[in-house]
Structure 1
Amino acid sequence: MKIVSATPADLERLLSFRMEAASWIGKLGSDQWSRPYPADRLLATIEAGTVFMLRDGEETAGTITLTAEAEEGLWSEVELGEPSMFINKLTVAREHAGQNLGGRLLDWAGDRAYRASAKWLRLDAWTANTRLQRYYLDQDFEHVRTVLEGGAVNGGPRVSGWLAQRPARPAEHGFTDETPNPEPLPV
């Protein structure tokens, strides 16, 4: 399997990935990703070069977004002063579930963050999805805190404020990485 940068041609597949994941997560009792994601926002992240696709031949097996920008209002000024990369929208196609592809994508992201001189690989997860939180803890992430206030709408409750991190580190993820080398983060 190989990792490549997403292109605008991947937009429809990424949107369908999200709908597929939302359906699966909904069957598990979570409302995570129940609102459609704006296609224009997703296209902007693709064009920014922060969305990556895991390909199994011609088939897309998974995706991950990795960016140097944190979502506003989650991390403290001190934390934001530490070189970090942030994971978003990690998704594995249901037909590829059970192969640890998500864990290997996290290792790839940690390796890429390390090569960009990041100290931390960070994420925020759905505050009510304890199953997802356990998954990240099992992937060696450490829970930092849960931010419940300051959501995007009128400063109301935040739905994705469970914060976790692990050190950025080299990793043997086993994928062929066909992405450009990451730009070094400002230190």
Structure 2
Amino acid sequence: MKVSKATLDDIDRLQQFRRDAATWLADRGSDQWSTSYPEALLRASIEAGDVFLFHEADSAPVATVTLDTQADPILWRPEEVREPALYVHKLTLASPGSGSGLGSQILDWCGDRAAKAGARWLRLDAWTTNTDLHAYYRSQGFSYLRTIHDEQAYSSGWVAQRPAAFHDVGFDGPEA
């Protein structure tokens, strides 16, 4: 698997990942990601160098994740924000639910980047009503902290974390 940073030329593909995931989720009864993600926010994340693409050899991207230091103050308490952490956002696979293990590998890659950056935690938030996703993250070693019911959290108020840890997932490329 090859890892690269997304560029502004990737915006259409990244938006397509989200639309495809929303369709897959809707087929399972979830309204997660049923609204489009604001392009201005996506552009800002790309320009900050926080959006990554995962490719099989030289093929089209098969997954994406945004990994940054941005702790949403609605979700994370001040004492948590003071702890060094990286935050996972918008982890999306081209083939969700395939059982390939790619999502797990990407989370381990994120945890490795967090550990290398000196972070104590790898953190994320998930759609409040997506209990299947909560179970998945728990199976990946994340500990549930709380659920925030605040409309400013955009229905993504289930928060969890796991210790940052070194992993060799075998990804390559300049961003691996």
TM range (shorter): over 0.9
> What 5-or-longer segments of structure 1 have no aligned partner?
181-187
Aligned equivalent of 2:69: 68
Q: CA deviation at 1:99?
A: 1.1
Give the structure 1 partner of residue 22 of structure 2: 22
- Retained in 2: the 8 A contact 1:120–1:165? yes
CA distance in 2, matches of 1:26, 1:174: 33
Please give the secondary structure, in 1, of the residue aligned with 2:159: strand
**Equivalent pair of 1:3/1:177 in contact (CA under 8 Å):** yes
Superposed CA deviations along residues 13-64 of structure 1, whole A, max 9, x for unmatched, are 0000000000000101000000011112111110110000001122211000
TM-score (norm 2): 0.95
Describe how 1:71-86 pairs up with structure 2 within 5 A.
Answer: 71-86=72-87
CA distance in 2, matches of 1:45, 1:69: 10
Separation in 1, partners of 2:169, 2:146:
28
1:9 aligns with 2:5: no
Report Cα offsets for 1:63-83 as digits up to 9, x if no partner.
Answer: 000000112311111111100
> Which of 162, 166, 174 is equivalent to 2:162?
166
- Give the match's secondary structure for 1:29: coil
Q: Please tell me whether the aligned partners of residues 104 and 174 of structure 1 are also in contact (alpha carbons under 8 angstroms).
A: no
Aligned AA (2:14): L
Q: 1:95 to 1:136 in 2, by over 3 A?
A: closer
Number of aligned residue pairs = 175
| Residues 128-162 of structure 1 deviation map (CA, whole Å, 9 limit, x = unaligned) | 0000000100000000111112x22xxxx751010
Amino acid at match of 2:147: T
Q: Secondary structure at the match of 1:94?
A: coil
Aligned partner of 1:133 in structure 2 is 134
1:24 and 1:95, CA in 2 relative to 1: closer, same or farther beyond 3 A?
A: closer
CA contact (8 A) 2:53 2:63 kept: yes
RMSD: 1.5
Q: Is the contact between residue 68 and residue 87 of structure 2 (CA under 8 Å) also seen in structure 1?
A: yes
Q: How is 1:30-179 mapped onto 2 (pairs within 5 angstroms)?
A: 30-56=30-56, 57-94=58-95, 97-149=98-150, 151-152=151-152, 158-179=154-175
CA deviations over 1:160-184 (Å, ceiling 9, x no partner): 010000000000212114218xxxx
Q: Secondary structure at the match of 1:17?
A: helix
